[in-house]
Every structure is written in structure tokens, then in C-alpha cells.
Amino acid sequence: MSILVDRSTRVIVQGITGKEGSYHAVACREYGTKVLGGVTPGKGGSTHEGFPVWNSVFDARDAENPDVSLIFVPPAFAADAILESIAANIPLIVCITEGIPVLDMVRVRRVLDARNAEGAEIRLIGPNCPGIITPDGAKIGIMPGYIHKRGRVGVVSRSGTLTYEAVWQLTQLGLGESTCVGIGGDPVRGLNFIDVLELFEKDPETEAVVMIGEIGGEDEERAAVFAQTRMTKPVVGFIAGLTAPPGRRMGHAGAIVSGGKGTAKEKMAFLESHGVAVVDNPSLIGKTVFDVLASGKSRRPLLPV
Amino acid sequence: MNIHEYQAKELFKEFGIPVPNGVLVETVEQARQAVASSPLFKGDSKPAVWAVKAQIHAGGRGKAGGVKIAKTVEEIPGFVEQILGKTLVTHQTGPEGRKVQKVWIEEGSRIAREYYLSAVVDRTSRRITLIASTEGGMEIEEVAQSHPEKILHLSIDPAEDYFPYIGRRLFSFLGLPFQVQSQFVNLVRDLLSFFQKRDASMVEINPLVLTQDDRLVALDAKVGFDDNALGRHPSIRDLRDLSEENELEIEASKYNLNYVKLDGNIACMVNGAGLAMATMDVIALAGGSPSNFLDVGGGASKETVEQAFRIILSDPHVKGIFVNIFGGIVRCERIAGGIIAAAQDVKVTVPLVVRLQGTNAKEGREMLKSSGLAIQVAEELFEGAEKIVLAVKGEA
């Protein structure tokens, strides 16, 4: 088992004829992901790198009924691309695009939430994220596939390369990963830590979870409360940005300490006090998971809610 | 992107939000001319007082001596002289402060009461949220600590947009007098419209004042814009004031490098924002102090690394460089080749530690070791941080 995606997952790529979309569609196919083809408005009916191209997500849906749409559309048009996939009822939308205006994402989230409230089951991962991978199953994103190894640890992260760092350690220690989800560095996004933690808790293959957060917002805190009250599996946490100055955006649009809120120190203390094993040295993420799993205390009782 | 108060007020005016009339000056001479010629300073209807306000991108100007109240027209040029060129140190500028290059002179208002009104994108509700408080003129964070009951948050459903009841709710919370209800309701509408149409990330009116003759006026204006949306607002992008930004940060942005200057002496160069933050943290954990945040992006080509070295080394405090690259899509040999070539071209003279991990990392590290350059190589992140901290201490 794994979460959200596996060997049978069927994927289309929005923006497949663009530089990024094209490169990564091929890389995902090489990893073994079932990439069915892609969408570029105006290029329907052609083929690109051996992939069929459709004019719209609707055409792609009618032809192949995909499970996932992976989006590489430039930021100014990305909200439109996500909304099209929502309208076409694609169950999982993974948006890699960095730099989408936040008010566009406000509207996207509003539409997505409304559709789901009406009974649809559509999930969005990202934007501004590396995507999702189930090792030896499906790579749906831009992460380097070979650093992953199928295994016991679920990974959820707001970061890209920092996730690779953690994954690499887990792989080197032989623990491996069940699924890795990059939820993205933007302030308004699709799946959040809590959503992914809930899925990992239900997944029999996942024995522990690594949660990689960073400065800004309160999502890590909410996730810690969830972990304490609703999870039996251990969570190891890292928060980047202990040395980040307040009021400055550190690369990611969401990585900013504002009004004294969202500092790494606060978050780490909060996570610690809610039973998350907090690592202050990112070189020791893998080792900490190893120790937690080896301690035999990996399953813990739920606190009464 | 942040803008100055006077720019924010011009935008407010365009959207119908009432602001005091004023003039901008950049020299004392301009102030003298303005005072002699502008209707703002003469005639029977001239205001009783004027506010002379330093224009910098930071709050807390008043306490730092950047705002003066002139009771006569004659006082104004003197106040401008005192403020212009002065370096203001406020809680938002950092210890180095900000030099004042522009001064805004505006009509004073006869204030009856002060309020607080702002709009932000709230990441928890994932909506634009209006924030109002009766405690105008105070820092909203302080009010949130001491009197949370004096603040009302109202999130705006993007599907519904603005209707007057939203303004009326804020109005009754603030306890404003009935005769200004429609003024206030329209002001909230205009504020929201400005926020949405220009992709603001934050709009703050603190204080919003009720004058003795029952007018509402935005006495101060603080506005920030979503950098991701500047592409569709060229007129907003033109408001960028480069003199308010760090020179190295401007230079870095020309090469698509994400650089933020810090106070330490160990520079770092990393691919990816999260890993870059973690690298700064690890330098601190190993006993050093990072001099910057720098995300060179995924590629880390020779040109990128070369520009990054140049920028890092323009900071005179830098005593060592830690390069931390996780080679994923781009293989480590290529990255190593880029680092070697760039280090030769730029002539890096301070200690340099390179930590390479990822695809073909071993080969990459071998290339660095046999390059003949004084590059120390590390496999692990913390090991690399320890090496650079030790090297910098050895130098000192």
C-alpha cells in the first residue's frame, strides 16, 4: 500500500508541450509512471515525445479517464489550468507551477472546497511543490526518482530539495519511503499537513511520518495537534528557518514570519510539546526516524479528544 | 513588494478612499517652493497644522523622529531639513536603519477619534480578511495581545464578494456615529476593490480617523503587493523604489537568484528555498553565523554559480562560503564542474566548503578534490557546516 498514487495511477500532463512539462512527462514515464498524454490548447490531435496531445482536459478525460492531472502551466495561466481540471472532475491534481498570484489561489480553493462540499472528491497537491511519489510505483512530479526506495516512512513537506535531503537519509538507512508528498511553499494551497497525516495514519505500509515544515503560518501547529489526538504512528518533525529574520520572505511565498507569528522556534516548541519528535539538525532526520522505530515505542495510544 | 505611504495614498485616491492632501519633496528647496506656491499652505481654508513625514518602507517612524507636526507654514522647511538625509532606526528597519530620501508634507486633520482598518490574505481561512479595531494608532499585534476583544476579523467569501452588510458589521463593531455610516461602508468597499484589483497582499490604514466635522480620512497608509502578481500590474511594478532595497539583493534578482542579506559572516549557496533555510540553520547549529539566504534554483549552472559567488563576495563581512547542493535532476559532476570554473573565474580567496549530494555525488566530489583549488569537500550537511565554521574561526 501507499497513499494517493501507485503503479496503477494514470496521469495526464497539462502543459505537456512546454519545456518543463515535456521534460518531466518523459522523466515520469521513464520512472514507470503511466503517463497517458497531455493537454495543450490548440495542439490537440498532435503527438509530442510519443504522447497524444488533447486540446482540453475534457477531451483527455473523455478519451482516457485519468486519475491525475500534473500541471506545468506558467503562473499567469495556472489557476485556469487547475480550475479546468476541477471542472473535469479529475480526482487528483498536482500543480508544480511556482509563482501563482495568491488571490488566484484564493479563488481556486473556494471553487475546490465548494465542489467537494457538493460531494465531489477532488484533491489538489501544490502549487509550488515537487509533486508526489510512491517509490517503485508512480513518480508524479519533478523529484529525482532514484533517491527514493520503497519502504516504511511517509514524508510530507512544504519544501523541495530539503525533502530530497530527508528522503536520501531514509533511503541510505534502509528505511525507505511509502509515499512522499510535497504540499508546496505557497500560503494558499491544496492538501495540507493534516490531510496527508490522516492518509498516512490509515496506510498499513506507513510506520512513521516525517513532517518537514518551515517558518510562516500555523499549519505545522495544527498538524501537531492532529498527530497527538488522532494518530498512533510516530511523527518526526523538522522546521526550517530558525535563523530567518522576521518580515523577510525566504524564497517561498509562504515562508515569512509576520507580526511575530510563525517563527521556527515557536513551531518547534509547539511540536515538541505535542509529542512530535523534533529534529534540530536536518542531517539527523533519517537517524531520528530510525531510532524512533527501533525504540519499539512506535505505536502510541491516542489521547482522548 | 512594498511602496511608500505617499504612493499608497495616491492609489487610495484613485480608488475613492479619502486621504489628506499633501506634497512630496526630495530637497529642502522643493519644500520652500511648495510652501510658497501650493494652495495647501495659504488662504483662508489652509489647515491649522501640517504633518511632515519621512518616507521609508518601515513602520515606527514617529517614535524614531521621522514625523513632525508643523503649527506654522514657516516651520515646515526646517522640519524637512531635519528629517531629510537622516537615518531612521525603527523596530522594522534593523539596526542599520533607513536613510530618508523623500518627505511627504500633508494637511493635518482635526481628529475626533482614531480607528484601525486593514485587509490581508489570511492563510488559515484562505480568504481576504478585513481587520478592524477601535484602538487606532496602536500596533495591531499589541492590541491582539492585550485586548483581542477590541479586534474584529471578517473574512470575505470570494464567491460572494462585497455587499454593504459587511461594511455595516464593521461599522457597528467600531461604534462609529450614524452620520458616517455610508461613508464608512463605501470606504470598506473601495478598500476591498483596491485590494482585489491590484493584487495587494496587505493594506493597512492605521489610523483611520474620524474628524471633528464627521469625515473619515486614511491618515496613514501601508500597502504591500503580491510579488507573484506584479506581472499583470505594470503600473504597480513601476512604484518599486530600489533605494529602499539592499543593493546586493537587487543585483541578485537580476540573475534570478533569491538572495536575502543577513548579519553573519558565513555565506551559503544552496539549491532550493527550504534547503537554503536549513543550511543557514545548520551553520548556526555548528556555531557559526550565516551572512545570507541564497537559493540558486535547480540548475546551479556555471554562470549561476559565478554570479552567486560575485554577489556573496561583495559583502565585506563574508569570511567563508558554504556551498550545499543536492543534485537531483542535474548531476553532481556538472555542478562540480560549474563550481570549479566559477571559483577560478571569480578568484574565491576565502575558505570554501562544498557539500555535494545526490546523483553521481562521489564523482562530483572527486572532481572538486582533484581540482587543485583550496576546496574542502563534505558528504553530509552538518559535516560541511562544521568544516566551514572551523575554517572561518581558523582565519580569524
- CA-based nearest distance B150→chain A, Å: 17
Name the pLDDT band for B62 (thresholds 50, 70, 90).
confident
Residue A302's pLDDT is: 57
d(CA B286, CA A205): 36
* Degrees, nearest 5: CA angle A19-A22-A28: 135
B282 contacts A165? CB cut-off 8 A = no
> Nearest Cβ partner of A144 from B128, B277, B359?
B359
- Which residues 172-211 of chain A have a CB within 8 Å of chain B? 185, 187-188
Note the pLDDT tens digit of each residue in A122-176. 999 999 999 999 999 999 999 999 999 999 999 999 998 899 999 999 999 999 9
Cβ neighbours, 10 Å, residue B242: 9
Residue B186's pLDDT is: 98
A102 contacts B121? CB cut-off 8 A = yes
Residues 6 or more apart whose CB falls under 8 angstroms from that of A11 comprise A28, A33, A34, A35, A36, A66, A67, A68, A69, A70, A138, A140
B275 contacts A165? CB cut-off 8 A = yes
Interface test with A, best of B118, B126, B227 (most A CBs within 10 A): B126
* H helix intervals, B122-162: 140-146
Kindly tell me the burial class for residue A115, based on how many C-beta atoms sit within 10 Å of its own C-beta (0-12, 13-18, 19 or more): middle
* Degrees, nearest 5: CA angle B23-B29-B33: 55
- Confirm if A64 and A13 have CB atoms less than 8 A apart: no
Collapsing DSSP to helix, strand or coil, B9 comes out as helix
Note the pLDDT tens digit of each residue in B153-193. 999 999 888 999 999 999 999 999 999 999 999 999 999 99
Chain A: residue whose CA lies nearest to B381:
A283
Collapsing DSSP to helix, strand or coil, B71 comes out as coil
d(CA B358, CA A129): 19
- Confirm if A165 and B275 have CB atoms less than 8 A apart: yes
Assigned C-alpha cell, B172: 457597528
Q: Does A259 touch chain B (CB under 8 A)?
A: yes
The ipTM assigned to this model is: 0.91
Residue B255's pLDDT is: 86
Note the pLDDT tens digit of each residue in A200-256. 999 999 999 999 999 999 999 999 999 999 999 999 999 999 999 888 888 887 888
Chain B: residue whose CA lies nearest to A261:
B141
Q: Does A147 touch chain B (CB under 8 A)?
A: yes
d(CA A211, CA A202): 16
- CA-based nearest distance B304→chain A, Å: 16
Mean pLDDT of chain B: 92
> Nearest Cβ partner of B272 from A76, A160, A245?
A160
Interface test with B, best of A26, A28, A80, A103 (most B CBs within 10 A): A103
Query: Which runs of E-coded beta strand occur in B100-214?
Result: 103-107, 111-122, 127-133, 151-156, 200-211
B272 contacts A162? CB cut-off 8 A = yes
Catalytic center residues of A: 252
Q: Does A58 touch chain B (CB under 8 A)?
A: no
Residue A6's pLDDT is: 96
How do strand A10-14 and strand A68-71 relate by DSSP bridges? parallel
The β-bridge partners of A125 are A94
> Nearest Cβ partner of A281 from B140, B229, B382?
B382
Amino acid at A5: V
